Structure 1
Amino acid sequence: MRALLLVLAGVFAAMVATAGQASAHAVLESTTPTNGTVVDSAPSRVTLTFGEAVQVEPDGVHVIAPDGSSADNGKADHIDGRGDTVGVPLTSKAQGTFTVSWHVVSADSHPISGAFTFSIGHTSAAAPVAAPSSGSLTVSIVYWTFRGLEYASFALLVGAVAFVFWCWPAGSVHRGVRRLIGGSWLALLFATVGAALLQGPYGAGAGLDRLFDGNLFSSTLDIALGTGVIVRIVLLALAAPYLGEMLATVEWTPNRRAVFGGVGVLLLNALAWTWSMSGHAAAGLQADLALPVDVLHLDAMGVWVGGLVVLWRAKPPQEAAQRFSQVAFLCVAALVATGTYQSWRQLGSWAGFFDTDYGRLLLVKIAAVLVVLSAAYFSRKWVRSHVGKLRRPILVETAGAVIVLGLTAALVNAEPARTAEAATTPVVQATPDGQTLPFDTGGPGGKGSLKVYITPARTGPNLLDVTVEDPTGKPENVAELTVALTLKERDVGPLKIEMQRVGQGRYRAAEAQIPLPGAWQVAITVRTSDVDETTAAGTWSVS
């Protein structure tokens, strides 16, 4: 149990060192009525469609009438049983501009919020929108502690079991190994249940007093994360007799070993899948390939980190350590290959390494992996000349691997760089000259600039005009161009703006509704091929 606590402490420390506000991972794709439009008559309800399934509370969608009064019945819910579509009945038929403020939880567990406007009959001044609650700091800390415990206990469980099965069958009777396997199994079950209960208050921005709220827990079970929780608990129940039988066996017949090995691999992949199915891998570019790659990445990380802890704590014989050295090499090779693919998929361009929180965090993880690999190389040389003296070099390697595990857990909470908005852009007042934003998607013909104009840069309808130019200044069309507005100081957005191509390299939204004054970030995502895209951003002061 002490080993589990030490690993958890390392994971938590790495997560805290890289912590920030949870970023939005789901994207609002469309609304009915459409953002900024004027409709002739009042619709019966307001509908929002996201790019993935979301969790919503009854008060998660709030419609504000032009006079500032509430214009909904407070009963937001999914529409026609579709997880990606939510709506709320409209109770007002007043003329003017309505503001819709929403707060949901994406399928990968992160709370997101935003606002948009529509008008009935004619436009008017939009009512002010209160900034959504940022949630309880205590709930966030406890929630991410439990998520860190999930990853730490998973790594210890699968790594210890793999070490005993592949490298040290006699270790099944070792007291320390038995305690490590049993303790990590219990810890994973405890952390899974705890994180599931905390997901509701965390997503709703509520306090710990709603930990056992049945409605919140039911909403959690409706999203992919909830499905993963149920499957994980079932798998842990199935794994209990498997672990008991394995720890009772020292001598294996070939057939029995093959059967147990096959069952173990199935359980390992299934457990890893319960995280991958609700994470970054399940959505976005090449999801069908990214999901198994992410499962393999978690498998390799768990076997490597957990095996190092067994080496450090149980002091197995030299022969077992040498066998594990071969297994660890394969795990590291798998981590490098899968990590490289994941980096390419989430970054989108080389600039993403330096321009986004995800990219900078990934650089820290890569540096940590290189340090660990260097330590592993020199420790192997040291062990060859100091047979039987494993503890000191393995402790160094284990500590580094635990930090890498913590950084992996932190990356789960970071917005992928491919969809992240640049955060270090100057605040300027829109002028007739607009702003020019460079972009580079990283592919052939992927460099150029965006000339962006927002007129009159006031609340209400605005003309948003974007011209795409190649490096020579010639207008050029791109495969896709999307625009999203975010008012970070009020936690509003991203508001997706529908752009129409009106000429060679020219994209325009004639009436882009901006509901509130402030420094609005305009994020423009440019895709130049099926896989090459990037996001450029500028900030406009809207009065």
Structure 2
Amino acid sequence: MTTRTTGLGNRVRKVQRALVVALFALLAIGFGASPAQAHATLEGTDPPTGSIVDPAPTVVTMNFSERVTPVKGRIKVIAPDGANVVQGEPTTVNGGARVRIPLKSGLADGTYLVSYRVISADGHPVSGGYTFSSRVPSALGAKASEVNSGTASASVDNGVRGVQSVSRYVAYAGLVLLTGPLVIVLGLWPRRLATAGPRRVAWIGWGLLAAGTLGVLVMQAPYADGGTLADVSVSGIGEAIDETVGRALLIRLALLVAAIPVLIRVLRPAAKGGDAPGWAGPVDRVLVGVLGVALLITFPFAGHAGQSPAPIVSVPAITLHVGSMAVWLGGLVVLAFYLLPRAKYRELEVILPVWSRWAFWAVGALVFSGAIETFLEIGGFRGIDRLVNTTYGQLVLTKVIWLGAIMVVAANARAWINRRFGVPVAYAFAAEDAETPPKEATKSEKSEKSAATTKTAAKTAAKTAAKKTTTKAAAKKAKEPEPESADFSASGRASDEVRRLRSRVAIEVALGAVVLALATALVQVAPARSADDAAAAAAALPYSAQVDLGPNVLQIDLPARIGRNELHLTLFDKNGLPVKVEEWSGSAELAKANVSTDVVALPLTENHAVGQVELPIAGDWKFVFTARTSDIDQYSVEKTITIR
């Protein structure tokens, strides 16, 4: 028996080590990517992207898919001479979804680059850029590489991303370690057992949750602004608190502070110097429940759910999801490391079936709420393919696989509990078995008892001497404390079975650590619906780019839509000065559809031409543009442009 148990323990330890390695690998993957996922998308601009306007605008407007906050000093409009022509601070209107950028008066002719960085409603940074021209196109005053039409992933310092990711994970782990002991101690803990271990775990969980929340809050400003760890400041924390995510984190910290006296009362020992549980009353339990629900509600508002298409559904779903996860995994931690090794077998006969039922409903709530949130974030039935085609969907599927592995182990443990113990009828709160009240005797029983009393009286004197000799030994034995180790009265087989159950629970906890890592990653990436929204928004914006054409620079502006497109071509030298073009020509071809057309561009100025091109089919069209600048100098460039 010992050999078999030792072998099982070795295998369990190997599995746990492998899971720890997998966990850190997942975390490393999450920290390694420096760009942040864009959540808000740029849906339109005024002046339009790539347009030529006259007169020069006094305000630039950008329309986003959701509420955004401009990052101070990170919104610029660069003139052809390289100067920033923004006057004053950008403002937001239309519920924060529209950004207005005031410009200096008397803008010079030429092409302007609008560069921006904003914070989306769920706290993630979004950056991008586009161009427009005032009266006459020109070379950009900024590097062509700075042009990033539409919405793009904003760069984030690796150190900032790493600290924030670790902080989110620590906060989830802290919630698990705080919830589990409270649920078990208030609902299932035997009065006989000391609560020093669960109390210690609960306070560790409180500390981890507070530290993780504070870490995310402190990192929010450099995360959004594109700063480094050296940019952490009190003013940055103040700026973060102005946003929904920052306010949710601040409220969570306030709730944790308010919970301190309640936790002290609930987790206190029964008497001074003792270690037995003090046992909370009804009011204490209500306070724990109210504070717990309020604490859980801060999680959806610090993530995607608060900004989902249906927050009235997603906020309760995420609250239930996080809460059921904390009850399940936290309870498993206490069960594996404190209750199973110390409870008596008769106590486990009552506790385990109750816990099995609680865990079953917690897992059911976890799966149900997770399915609802995933359904919303992928965009309903039409977005089923996004589970495979987006990073968010792939993480969801990975999380489902790991949860499935946990549920297989949990189902095995539940089946063992059901076979062994059946259905419980009471909680194991008593230090000893409750005394069974005596039954009322019948008439016949009373007469028999009277006769037996006469016989017994004769024997009493003989037994008195024998009893005196054992009194001291009995008294000494009664004073000995009842052992806290499990009392397996049936056989050694029962002891071995409970050890196996404990190993299964430990595996569930290790797998749960990986699921927590995946949950952390899901908060960091854009929902699947946002990824498609970004693609659709990019498709709605015109194509605008500058490419090298021989020793010169060619600017191309094209609506890039099916049907008739108005094409603008402008040529400059490397210094941004106009280059006279004697003749323009070009072609467009979609090879897979065997469709091609000539591009005819008529000159408006010596370096600027406009033409009409018919593009009947969507796809990646190959364009060839040719500019003849003299009788002997002619240059061509090939460019693939996606038509939607």
Q: TM-score, normalised by structure 1?
A: 0.72
**Cα distance, 1:9 vs. partner?**
9.2
Please name the residue that 2:78 is paired with.
64
Alignment of 1:111-260 (within 5 A): 111-127=125-141, 128-130=144-146, 134-168=155-189, 170=191, 173-212=194-233, 214=235, 216-248=236-268, 250=277, 256-257=281-282, 259-260=283-284
How far apart in 1 are the matches of 2:378 and 2:525? 12
1:462 is the counterpart of 2:462: no
Deviations along 1:270-305, one digit per CA (max 9) or x if unpaired, are 212212013221223222211111111111111111
How far apart in 1 are the matches of 2:516 and 2:416? 25
- C-alpha spacing 1:195/1:464, structure 2 compared with 1 (3 Å): same
**Cα distance, 1:91 vs. partner?**
2.6
**Cα distance, 1:460 vs. partner?**
3.9
Equivalent residue in structure 1 for 2:503, among 392, 410, 421? 392
Deviations along 1:5-24, one digit per CA (max 9) or x if unpaired, are x9999866533345544211
SS, match of residue 98 in structure 1 = strand
Aligned-partner residue type, residue 420 of structure 1: A
Deviations along 1:383-427, one digit per CA (max 9) or x if unpaired, are 64655424211111111122112111111112212232599x9xx
Tell me if structure 1 keeps the 8 A contact 2:542–2:557. Answer: no
Contiguous gaps of at least 5 residues in structure 2: 1-17, 149-153, 271-276, 421-493, 547-554, 564-617, 623-638
Please name the residue that 2:375 is paired with.
344
How far apart in 2 are the matches of 1:280 and 1:50? 17
SS, match of residue 288 in structure 1 = helix
1:354 is the counterpart of 2:388: yes
Aligned-partner residue type, residue 413 of structure 1: Q
- C-alpha spacing 1:101/1:80, structure 2 compared with 1 (3 Å): same
- C-alpha spacing 1:306/1:28, structure 2 compared with 1 (3 Å): same
**Cα distance, 1:167 vs. partner?**
2.2
Please name the residue that 1:415 is paired with.
526
SS, match of residue 206 in structure 2 = helix
**Cα distance, 1:84 vs. partner?**
4.2
Please name the residue that 1:25 is paired with.
39
How far apart in 2 are the matches of 1:346 and 1:178? 38
Tell me if structure 1 keeps the 8 A contact 2:44–2:541. Answer: no
Please name the residue that 1:369 is paired with.
403
Tell me if structure 1 keeps the 8 A contact 2:49–2:542. Answer: no
- C-alpha spacing 1:147/1:55, structure 2 compared with 1 (3 Å): farther
Contiguous gaps of at least 5 residues in structure 1: 1-5, 426-436, 438-450, 468-535
Q: TM-score, normalised by structure 2?
A: 0.61
- C-alpha spacing 1:397/1:97, structure 2 compared with 1 (3 Å): same
- C-alpha spacing 1:538/1:289, structure 2 compared with 1 (3 Å): farther
- C-alpha spacing 1:9/1:345, structure 2 compared with 1 (3 Å): same
How far apart in 1 are the matches of 2:134 and 2:240? 35
Please name the residue that 1:274 is paired with.
298
**Cα distance, 1:125 vs. partner?**
4.7
Deviations along 1:212-267, one digit per CA (max 9) or x if unpaired, are 251x22221111111111111111111111111111264758xx33x333332322
How far apart in 2 are the matches of 1:150 and 1:209? 23
SS, match of residue 419 in structure 1 = helix
How far apart in 2 are the matches of 1:375 and 1:124? 66
**Cα distance, 1:164 vs. partner?**
1.8
Alignment of 1:292-303 (within 5 A): 292-303=316-327
Please name the residue that 1:16 is paired with.
28
- C-alpha spacing 1:203/1:380, structure 2 compared with 1 (3 Å): same
- C-alpha spacing 1:455/1:405, structure 2 compared with 1 (3 Å): closer
Equivalent residue in structure 2 for 1:305, among 314, 329, 332? 329
Equivalent residue in structure 2 for 1:327, among 354, 358, 374? 358
SS, match of residue 103 in structure 1 = strand
Tell me if structure 1 keeps the 8 A contact 2:130–2:147. Answer: no
Aligned-partner residue type, residue 158 of structure 2: L
How far apart in 2 are the matches of 1:7 and 1:303? 21
Equivalent residue in structure 1 for 2:110, among 91, 96, 101? 96
SS, match of residue 561 in structure 2 = strand
How far apart in 2 are the matches of 1:539 and 1:149? 49
Aligned-partner residue type, residue 375 of structure 2: W
Task: From the CA coordinates, give the structure whose radius of gyration is larger.
Answer: 2
Tell me if structure 1 keeps the 8 A contact 2:324–2:366. Answer: yes
Aligned-partner residue type, residue 225 of structure 1: V
Tell me if structure 1 keeps the 8 A contact 2:174–2:206. Answer: yes
How far apart in 2 are the matches of 1:340 and 1:205? 34
Q: What is the count of residue pairs matched by the alignment?
A: 440
How far apart in 2 are the matches of 1:105 and 1:357? 21
Of stretches 333-342 and 114-123 in structure 1, the one that deviates more from structure 2 is 114-123
- C-alpha spacing 1:359/1:452, structure 2 compared with 1 (3 Å): same
SS, match of residue 420 in structure 1 = helix
Tell me if structure 1 keeps the 8 A contact 2:39–2:526. Answer: yes
